[in-house]
Every structure is written in C-alpha cells, then in structure tokens.
Amino acid sequence: MVMGQTSAIVLAAGMGKRMNSLLPKPLHPICGRAMILHVLDALTPLELEKVVVVVGHGSRQVIEEITSSYDQRVNIEFVEQHTPQGTGDAVKVALTCFSDVYDNLAKDRDILILPGDAPLVLTKTLAALIDTHRQSASVATLLSVMATDPRGYGRIIRNKDKDVARIVEEKDATEEEKSICEVGTSIYVFRQSALAPALRILVPKNAQNEYYLTDVIEVFRQAGYQIKAVVAEDEKEVAGVNDRLQLAFVDAELRKRINTQHMLRGVTIMDPSQTYIDKAAEIERDVTLMPGTVIKGATYIGSGSIVGPYTVLDNCYLGQRAHVTFTYLSDAKLEDDTHIGPYGQS
C-alpha cells in the first residue's frame, strides 16, 4: 500500500510498571496474540522497507516471541535501549539501524513511529497518515484524536493555517489550552533527514530527566518547518495499554471487531457478548456459534458446524457439519458429521 522509502519504528522497550506483572508489557495477550503482534499486523500491509523494534525490559522474551510467531517475510530488525531514557532516546537508538542521514536514501526516507502498546490501530489509518505526510511535504505529520476526556494528555495547538504549532503538556497548559480536546497519540511520520539532527539537540527538560520525542515538534517549529496532523476517526482505535483495566478494554474492543468480521462473512453468532474468538481462528460460513462459546488459538471450524453452548475449542480442527456442545476440546481433530457432548473433553 505504501510505496518508496518508508520504514517504521515500534517502541517496545518500556517496563510497564502499572501492569504489575513479571511478563513484559508487549507480550500480554489480546485475543490470543501478544499485544505487539497486533501492532505489527497493522504494519504488514504497508509493505515497508523495514520495521525496527526497540526492545528493553524483557528484550530476549520479546524478540523470541516476535521471531517465532510473526511472518518471516517482513523485514524486522531489533535494537536494544539498554538504559531507559525516554522515547526520544529510543528513536535515536533505532536510527542506528538506518543508513546515515546524509546518504541519498535517507534524504527521501520517511519513518513511521508508533508505540508497541496500541493494538487497535488500523492499517488504513496509518496509510492515511503517511499519505498526508507525503502530499504536504512536511518534515513531521502526527496522528491526533478528539478525546472525550482529554485530561492527562498533551494538547495539540494549531496555528492560523491549521498546522501544528506545538504540543503542550497538561501541566504546562493554560486554562484556555486545557479546553482543547485534540490530543496527541504518540504516532508520527518523520522525514529522517530532519529527524536525526533534531534528536541530537534534544535536552531532558523534565523531572524524569528523559528525552521526549514530543520535544522534536518544538524543535521543528522553532526552525520554521511545517508540521501537519491527521485526526483519527475513532478515539478507541488509538487507545494505549498501561494497566490491566486498559488491557481488558482493548481486548473487548478487538473481540467485537473479530466477531463482526465473522458475522459479515456468514457465521451465525447467537450472542456476540458471550462469544470469544481468538484472532488466529478460521471459521467457514454457515457455522453457528451458540452462547458461551470460546474459540482459542488456530482453531478451524468447517461449514455447517454447530458449536456450543458453553464449549471451548483450543487449537482444534472441526470438519463440516460437526456438532459440539457443553464440551472442552484441546488439540482435537473431528471428522465431518462428528457429534460430541454434552460434557465431553479431550
């Protein structure tokens, strides 16, 4: 979908302290798949030159999960941020995976930057962001959203030409600026030839003594560069995950998407609110899923089958016209016209 020299950087080095977990935050499962894999799924159709994943806490686990579970045709490189010094430093580390800023390719390369904890972001939104960036010939284009409750987020301040003038953090905002509902999403596209020099002059002007990527926007503004913004259509799409409450929210939203896609393809789901389908599952048309059905892993269900109520299928294969009710099956294979249940298990 995206042509030319465009690459991506995925920021996945944070510890995620608020998750209160021994598991690295990027690996928390959402609909049967590690959170960061959903972000990479959104990038795949863009046909990017390369994707650089910045790892830190639990780096070995994160790398192993991605390399074992992700499409090997995608050009993914890993780089480690050994000391957590903020998003600006993480991007600076990631840029070591690219040709020098003065290289001919670097002069025309655009770099999409996004966090590894945004599993609901859609490919079409990222493509629109890149397209706007290219058409406007900006050095930076950011994705924003009109927040229902903007408290705690950086406000987008636009100039008279509707371009981005700056991003102001809430603690630094005036009362008038706090009334603005347009906020940043931590998703950007930068021209590499402008980004690299800007990162070099950042200073950690905050209590955390960290280098913030948002400060690059101020550097560009002072240099007189044009900065654009694209407003995301759906606030939920850019929701991040910092704790278990937010994890449950994005899991529920993605399950709604998955159920909707299956129903539009001809699957009958009697009660979507009580039906849980992992992303990797494959379900043929004219299948009926009764309430209380849980479809986990890479389960396949053939046409005409009836599953449920209150049935769990974990990495199973069901042939056509199978009927499974009140049953738990794991790694099972059922031939056509097989009936199991109630109260069966394998």
Residue 2 has pLDDT above 70, yes or no: no
Q: Grade residue 207 by pLDDT with cuts at 50, 70 and 90.
A: low
Q: In terms of CATH architecture, what is 6-238?
A: Alpha-Beta Complex (3.90)
Reduce the secondary structure of the chain to three states and give it as a string: CCCCCEEEEEEECCCCHHHCCCCCHHHCEECCEEHHHHHHHHHHHHCCCCEEEEECCCHHHHHHHHHHHCCCCCCEEEEECCCCCCHHHHHHHHHHHCCCCCCHHHHHCEEEEEECCCCCCCHHHHHHHHHHHHHHCCCEEEEEEECCCCCCCCEEEECCCCCEEEEECHHHCCHHHHCCCEEEEEEEEEEHHHHHHHHHCCCCCCCCCCCCCCHHHHHHHHCCCCEEEEECCCHHHHCCCCCHHHHHHHHHHHHHHHHHHHHHCCCEECCHHHEEECCCCEECCCCEECCCEEEECCCEECCCCEECCCEEEECCEECCCCEECCCEEECCEECCCCEECCCCEC
Task: Give me the pLDDT at residue 107, please.
Answer: 61
Average pLDDT over residues 32-60: 95
Q: Grade residue 344 by pLDDT with cuts at 50, 70 and 90.
A: low
Structure token digits, residue 165? 């003038």
What is the per-residue pLDDT across 13-45, written as a single tens digit (0 to 9) for each? 988 889 999 999 999 999 999 999 999 999 999
Task: Give me the pLDDT at residue 153, please.
Answer: 84
Higher pLDDT, 278 or 208: 278
What is the per-residue pLDDT across 310-334, written as a single tens digit (0 to 9) for each? 999 999 999 999 999 999 999 999 9
Task: Give me the pLDDT at residue 260, please.
Answer: 98
Average pLDDT over residues 95-123: 83
Residue 114 has pLDDT above 90, yes or no: yes
Task: Give me the pLDDT at residue 104, please.
Answer: 55
Answer whether 0.85 is exceeded by the pTM: yes
Q: Locate the domains of the chain by residue range.
A: 6-238, 265-340
Average pLDDT over residues 162-178: 86
Task: Give me the pLDDT at residue 236, please.
Answer: 94
Average pLDDT over residues 275-294: 98
Residue 3 has pLDDT above 60, yes or no: no
Q: Grade residue 248 by pLDDT with cuts at 50, 70 and 90.
A: very high
CATH superfamily for 265-340 is Hexapeptide repeat proteins (2.160.10.10)
Task: Give me the pLDDT at residue 94, please.
Answer: 96
Q: Grade residue 144 by pLDDT with cuts at 50, 70 and 90.
A: very high
Task: Give me the pLDDT at residue 4, please.
Answer: 55
Residue 204 has pLDDT above 60, yes or no: yes
**Residues assigned a catalytic role:** 18
Average pLDDT over residues 131-151: 92
